[in-house]
């Protein structure tokens, strides 16, 4: 799902940060906003193959805010997306992306409840920039989903605290039970989940951050689900840095992972080999430059080095090049090409593939 559905996913920076809203109503105490984005994609996972995935997608969000006494603010947000021509099922697919409410105060921070961007993502977002594929070494979407189960991306059932002042950002979350992937007629369940991150934004445009996440897994009945057993934990320690100045952005993240990177996520050379969660050390980097003309070339590279336990003995490398053009700040056409070098499993031949596609996004 990760690679095939990635054609209909545009980066969190566009969907979460740049989905600007327009205000329907506002007075001294209340505010009501709506926003959204329309996306059209076509994507060929491997050049020369017949499979071409295309989809259209619409996203809608509604946000409300009420100012309380003594500087307190209560806000809530709901966001949904709707797939047409779903590349995996061939049918429509309606999904809840976000759903939370927040109690916020400038001096004490915010407390947020519901489906939301996780505390881990507060640092991992340094790498959440790509258009068609997703970051690989930084395991934001390593489940092949939105990262909800492990809470690396938009985490399910979270309560999160955040505080920012004078460039310092601190966040932590706790995740209640949630369902993950299934196999052998069993479903991996989240026993509990927690994460914490801290970062500092310098006036120069440099940001440095560290994040740690741990997800406890519960599996009833089955021996394992893709290498995960009952009582296993998924963990990620990530250290990231980014630099933004004018149109330039440079970013890199190093991650030490335990059962948080999935070998075979981008496919295997044999149908008899299934994807497996495994330990890994991983690093990725990203760069772009946004010209005033509207063009934005970008490049990405990642390396995931699996620890060699069991049949997962090798590594995975992903490279991508792309070009976006903004006709207006909210109307963007992008092309992206990728190249994978896969040598993950013992006894399986290494392989390479190349593919890519285009993306058109219109932000309301």
Q: Each residue of 291-301: pLDDT tens digit?
A: 999 999 999 99
CATH number of the domain that residue 157 is part of: 2.40.160.10
Q: Could you list the residue range(s) of the whole structural domain that residue 7 is in? A: 2-363
Handedness of CA 117, 121, 126, 131 (dihedral sign): negative
Three-class DSSP category at 7:
helix
- Within the chain, residue ranges assigned H as helices are 2-5, 12, 121-124
Give the pLDDT score at 51.
72
- For the chain, the domain total comes to 1
Q: What is the pLDDT of residues 8-35, one digit of tens each?
A: 333 434 443 445 678 999 999 999 999 9
Give the pLDDT score at 13.
41
Three-class DSSP category at 6:
helix
pTM exceeding 0.85: yes
With cut-offs at 50, 70 and 90, classify the pLDDT of residue 7. very low
Decide if 148 contacts 180 (C-beta within 8 A).
no
């Amino acid at each position: 799902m990760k690679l095939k559905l990635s054609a209909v996913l545009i980066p969190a920076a566009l969907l979460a940060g740049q989905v600007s809203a327009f205000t329907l109503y506002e007075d001294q105490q209340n505010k009501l906003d709506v926003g959204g984005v329309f996306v059209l994609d076509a994507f060929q996972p491997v050049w020369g193959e017949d499979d071409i995935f295309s989809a259209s997608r619409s996203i809608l969000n509604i946000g409300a805010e009420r100012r309380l006494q003594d500087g307190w603010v209560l806000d809530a947000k709901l966001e949904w997306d709707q797939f047409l021509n779903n590349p995996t099922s061939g049918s429509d697919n309606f999904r809840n992306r976000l759903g939370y409410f927040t109690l916020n105060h400038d001096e004490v921070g915010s407390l947020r409840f519901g489906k939301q961007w996780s505390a881990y993502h507060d640092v991992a977002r340094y790498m959440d920039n790509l258009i068609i594929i997703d970051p690989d070494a930084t395991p934001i979407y390593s489940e092949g989903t939105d990262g909800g189960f492990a809470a690396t991306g938009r985490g399910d059932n979270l309560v999160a605290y955040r505080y920012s002042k004078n460039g310092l950002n601190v966040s932590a979350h706790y995740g209640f039970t949630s369902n993950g992937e299934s196999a052998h007629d069993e479903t991996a369940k989240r026993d509990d989940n927690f994460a914490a991150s801290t970062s500092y934004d310098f006036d120069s445009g440099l940001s440095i951050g560290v994040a740690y996440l741990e997800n406890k897994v519960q599996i009833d009945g089955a021996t394992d689900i893709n290498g995960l057993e009952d009582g296993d934990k998924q963990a990620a320690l990530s250290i990231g840095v980014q630099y933004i100045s004018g149109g330039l952005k440079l970013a890199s993240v190093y991650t030490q992972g335990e059962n948080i990177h999935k070998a075979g996520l981008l496919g295997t050379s044999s149908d008899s080999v299934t994807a497996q969660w495994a330990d890994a050390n991983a690093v990725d980097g990203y760069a772009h430059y946004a010209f005033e003309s509207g063009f934005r070339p970008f490049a990405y590279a990642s390396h995931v080095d699996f620890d060699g336990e069991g049949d997962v003995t090798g590594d995975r490398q992903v490279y991508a090049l792309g070009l976006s053009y903004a006709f207006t700040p909210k109307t963007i056409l992008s092309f992206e090409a990728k190249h994978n070098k896969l040598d993950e499993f013992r006894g399986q031949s290494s392989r390479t593939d190349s593919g890519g596609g285009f993306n058109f996004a219109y932000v309301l």
